[in-house]
Amino acid sequence: MEVFVSYLGWVSVAVFLFMAVYRVIQYSSLPLFLRWELYPVPTEPRHHYGGSYMEEVDYVKKPRHHQRIGGLLDMASEVFLLKKVKEHNRFGMWPFSFSMHWGIYLFFLWILLLLVETLFKLEFLVPLTNVCGVIALFIGAFGSLGLFLKRIGNDKLSLYTTPDDYFNLLFLMAIFGTGIISWSTVDPGFLYTRALINQVIFFESPPVALPFWVWLNLLLFELFLIYMPFSKLFHYVAKYFTFDKIFWDDAFKIKDSPADKQCVKQLGYVVTWSGPHIVPGKTWLDEAQIIEGGDSK
């Protein structure tokens, strides 16, 4: 089984990276949309009160100031603190969601530290790696279990929660849970885990058979890597598009700019909507110039 885990480790990373890139390309290649910004826009210098450059007379003639750092800070507060969930969620989800997210972040960091340790023989990292792993397992398990119970126990939340939402939480619980069992029963110093990581990287068989819980934990994590880009758990990348590319995309269009050229291209798309006011077979540009199109509805 360890050999399978070893091969799957490489496969899972490859699938994860491939699918992540594929998803990014997939969303990036969707058409340029109509401006749909939402204030406050943190990349605006006036974002502290929700203002924009459009507060100025003749804004088109004035230089624009774009604060990249504002966007990064805002995104960081969402990713690391789950600020909006904390401030606006009335179901008490924040402590659990915060724990689960940090459990995932630290789990990834733990795996990364194990890889770095193993690759570069950096033994001084061992205490940090071990603490990181234990914290990740416990807060991750606490968070995912808490969210699972919240969703199942509250009729307003359960109405919206689908079986795949529960599955996602159960999957995470299984990863953190098997990790806790492994750590608390057979692998308190993560020595077996390190041996398994060594095997994944170098395909070197460990000197002794690895305990069931150790390879099960890593196997589940590898499966999770494969599954994640196909699921809603991929929302960490979606956020880049929803915030940075939609809500904060407040630039007005300049003649002959790439956006202008893209608009020209898209205005050439053919409209096939069937409403009575729409003349079939016309492009968007043609449709926009029709005044008398259609009958009464």
Site for another protein in 260-289 (CB under 8 A): 260, 263-264, 266-267, 269-278, 284-285, 287-289
Out of 162, 207, 208, 258, point to the residue binding another protein (CB under 8 A).
Answer: 162
Q: How far is the CB of 151 from another protein (least distance, A)?
A: 8
- Is residue 34 within the footprint of another protein (CB under 8 A)? yes
Out of 5, 41, 172, 220, point to the residue binding another protein (CB under 8 A).
Answer: 41
Which residues, 6+ apart, have CB-to-CB distance to 228 below 8 Å?
Answer: 16, 234
- Is residue 121 within the footprint of another protein (CB under 8 A)? no
- Is residue 255 within the footprint of another protein (CB under 8 A)? yes
- Is residue 48 within the footprint of another protein (CB under 8 A)? no
The region of 130-138, 185-193, 194-202, 253-261 touching another protein under the rule CB under 8 A is 253-261
CB 260 within 8 A of CB 253: yes
- Is residue 60 within the footprint of another protein (CB under 8 A)? yes
The region of 46-54, 121-129, 135-143, 203-211 touching another protein under the rule CB under 8 A is 46-54
Cβ-based burial of 67 (10 A; exposed 0-12, middle 13-18, buried ≥19): middle
For 91-116, give the secondary structure using H, E and C. Answer: CCCHHHHHHHHHHHHHHHHHHHHHHH
- Is residue 259 within the footprint of another protein (CB under 8 A)? yes
Residues in the chain: 297
Number of shown-chain residues binding another protein (CB under 8 A): 95
Nearest to 218 by CA among 201, 233, 235: 201
Out of 14, 45, 253, 280, point to the residue binding another protein (CB under 8 A).
Answer: 253
- Is residue 76 within the footprint of another protein (CB under 8 A)? no
- Is residue 67 within the footprint of another protein (CB under 8 A)? no
Q: Which of residues 193-232 bind another protein (CB under 8 A)?
A: 232
Helix (H, G, I), strand (E, B) or coil at 56: coil
- Taking the least distance from each CB to another protein, the nearer of 172 and 195 is 172
Cα 25–chain centre separation: 15
153 has which bridge partners?
Answer: none
Nearest to 190 by CA among 120, 105, 125, 100: 125
Out of 16, 46, 108, 109, point to the residue binding another protein (CB under 8 A).
Answer: 46
Q: What is the DSSP string of 237-259?
A: HHHIIIIIIIIT--PPP-TTSHH
- Is residue 43 within the footprint of another protein (CB under 8 A)? no
- Taking the least distance from each CB to another protein, the nearer of 19 and 214 is 19
Q: How far is the CB of 55 from another protein (least distance, A)?
A: 5
Answer positive or negative: Cα dihedral of 231, 232, 238, 239. Answer: negative
Out of 127, 153, 163, 258, point to the residue binding another protein (CB under 8 A).
Answer: 163
- Is residue 239 within the footprint of another protein (CB under 8 A)? yes
Helix (H, G, I), strand (E, B) or coil at 25: helix
- Is residue 105 within the footprint of another protein (CB under 8 A)? no
The region of 5-13, 24-32, 112-120, 138-146 touching another protein under the rule CB under 8 A is 24-32
Nearest to 93 by CA among 156, 179, 47, 41: 156
Q: Which pair of tokens denotes residue 143?
A: 């968070």
The owner of tokens 């995932």 is 104
